[in-house]
Homo-oligomer: A and B are copies of this chain.
């Protein structure tokens, strides 16, 4: 005879359940921040969009600033993960940089990435800003170090790795402001084309130089 399943959830099930609820709340919140802006967003409305009440949001994520901070950390974590993944790949640095940049751009086109780019520093307390600055510095350092590897292995041409990292980041952060999935190419295709523009430059090349 089959054993009756226990009506009590295991610790693992409870933890998974908690994570799923937290993520659903963050997704609802980040969409509202992106649409209305942080100041005009209300946790009451975030809660209502999921059929719960504000105390539920507080329970999982804390106050409004903390909800924003969690959303921004989540977006920045995705950008960092993309760098870690690219670093672990084989091949010349230019190819690893391209892979990283394509994912980086797609994150910036997503709800959490858009929130990272569009949220002005002033929306946050000095303490939260410092946490985020640390993560942003890590992402910048990852990009710069991939470029430096490319300078070393000859696959990337640039005078100043730090300035090139800022050049690339700017071009690939900006889709957070203009990209509209309902018009033009899908995210991955658009990201690839943007990165191609940056790789090739806008001056004609006399012959293909990408081996």
Contact = CB atoms under 8 A, between A and B. Distances in A.
A187 B134 CA distance: 26
26 contacts: A37-B121, A94-B202, A120-B120, A147-B202, A150-B202, A155-B204, A156-B203, A158-B197, A163-B190, A164-B197, A167-B198, A170-B170, A170-B173, A170-B175, A171-B171, A198-B201, A199-B201, A199-B202, A199-B203, A200-B201, A201-B201, A201-B202, A201-B203, A203-B210, A205-B209, A206-B207
A169 B174 contact: yes
A158 B206 contact: no
Interface in A109-135: 118, 120-123
A172 B164 CA distance: 12
Given A198-B201, A203-B157, A168 B171 contact: yes
Contact of A170 (B164, B174, B203): B174
Interface string A147-165: 1001000111111100110
Instruction: Return the 7 tightest CB-CB contacts between A and B, nearest first.
Output: A170-B174, A201-B201, A37-B122, A171-B171, A157-B204, A170-B171, A167-B197
A167 B194 contact: yes
A1 interface: no
Given A158-B202, A171-B174, 8 more contacts: A37-B121, A39-B39, A94-B202, A120-B120, A159-B193, A168-B202, A200-B203, A201-B205
User: Which size class do A's interface residues fall under?
Assistant: 35 or more
A178 B202 contact: no
Chain A binding surface, main DSSP class: helix
A76 to B, nearest CB: 15
A152 B193 CA distance: 20
A164 to B, nearest CB: 5
A18 interface: no
